[in-house]
Chains A and B, each alone.
Chain A
Amino acid sequence: EVQLVESGGGLVKPGGSLRLSCAASGFTLSNTYMNWVRQAPGGGLEWVGLIKNNADRGTTVYAAPVKGRFTISRDDSRNTLYLQMNSLETGDTAVYYCVTEGVGTFNIWGQGTMVTVSS
């Protein structure tokens, strides 16, 4: 069974850093385009960024609001996806989901992990 389990969320002060993890099972991360999508409390969904599969050299693409602050990476030996978040702002408060991507669509979603940026 394909499964994604996020972890690493929590409370952090503005300007701080946090690293989220997404452990994958039932498939090989390195063969798959993987995305992070977030959802602010009571709000809608927002695409954060993606990492392409190894065939496409693991290239990363980021949404403008997080470019330069967030970094997506992958540990193939652990079949785990990461989201390193630096210079966090209150507007980054959200549930963060890791999601597999088919062509132009988001197939499998993790359960999400909550990140709260507050002083």
Chain B
Amino acid sequence: QSALTQPPSASGSPGQSVSISCTGTSSDVGGYNYVSWYQQHPGKAPKLLIYDVTKRPSGVPDRFSGFKSGNTASLTVSGLQADDEADYYCSSYTGNTNRLYVFGTGTTVTVL
């Protein structure tokens, strides 16, 4: 069971929007509504941005939004800001006890 597939990089200018895809299979992304997104700045721990495909924890701006269709989930960051420059990872529950959760390959977002 491989990692979920994300594009290696994405970029946008301040104020623009960027979307990141996360492609899995019917055994993970497509099979459960337990898709989450994490933001990781260099040298820091990941931070939860989105859970249950579309929900935002308190304190996360509504500029961050999630969506899923079939085996592909996506994260959109609207109104890009300099601090949005970071690595972004998706994850999905799989139900497979040998690998209960699988993460995406990660996407580096650059704010131009």
Q: How far is the CA of A46 from the CA of B101 in the complex (A)?
A: 8
Among residues of B, the one whose C-beta sits closest to the C-beta of A47 is B101
The answer to whether A44 touches B47, judged by C-beta atoms less than 8 angstroms apart, is: no
| Min CB–CB distance B3 → chain A (angstroms) | 6
Q: Beta-carbon contacts of B89-112 to A below 8 Å, as 1s and 0s?
A: 101010001111111111000000
The answer to whether B100 touches A61, judged by C-beta atoms less than 8 angstroms apart, is: yes
Write out the residue numbers on chain A whose beta carbons fall within 8 Å of the beta carbon of B48: 105-109
Given contacts A44-B105, A45-B89, A63-B100, contact A109 B36 (CB under 8 A): no
Query: How many residues of chain A are within 8 Å of chain B by beta carbon?
Result: 22
Write out the residue numbers on chain A whose beta carbons fall within 8 Å of the beta carbon of B99: 47, 63-64
Q: How far is the CA of A112 from the CA of B44 in the complex (A)?
A: 8
Q: How far is the CA of A107 from the CA of B55 in the complex (A)?
A: 12
Q: How far is the CA of A108 from the CA of B43 in the complex (A)?
A: 16
The answer to whether A47 touches B38, judged by C-beta atoms less than 8 angstroms apart, is: no
Chain A binding site: helix, strand, loop or mixed by DSSP?
strand
Q: For the complex, is B12 an interface residue (Cβ under 8 Å from A)?
A: no
Interface residues of A in 81-119 (CB under 8 A from B): 97, 102-112
The answer to whether A50 touches B91, judged by C-beta atoms less than 8 angstroms apart, is: no
Complex partner residue of B32 from A63, A97, A104, A109, CB under 8 angstroms? A104
Q: How far is the CA of A111 from the CA of B90 in the complex (A)?
A: 19
Complex partner residue of A109 from B3, B45, B102, B106, CB under 8 angstroms? B45
Q: How far is the CA of A61 from the CA of B101 in the complex (A)?
A: 11
Write out the residue numbers on chain B whose beta carbons fall within 8 Å of the beta carbon of A35: 101
Interface residues of B in 44-77 (CB under 8 A from A): 44-48, 51-52, 57
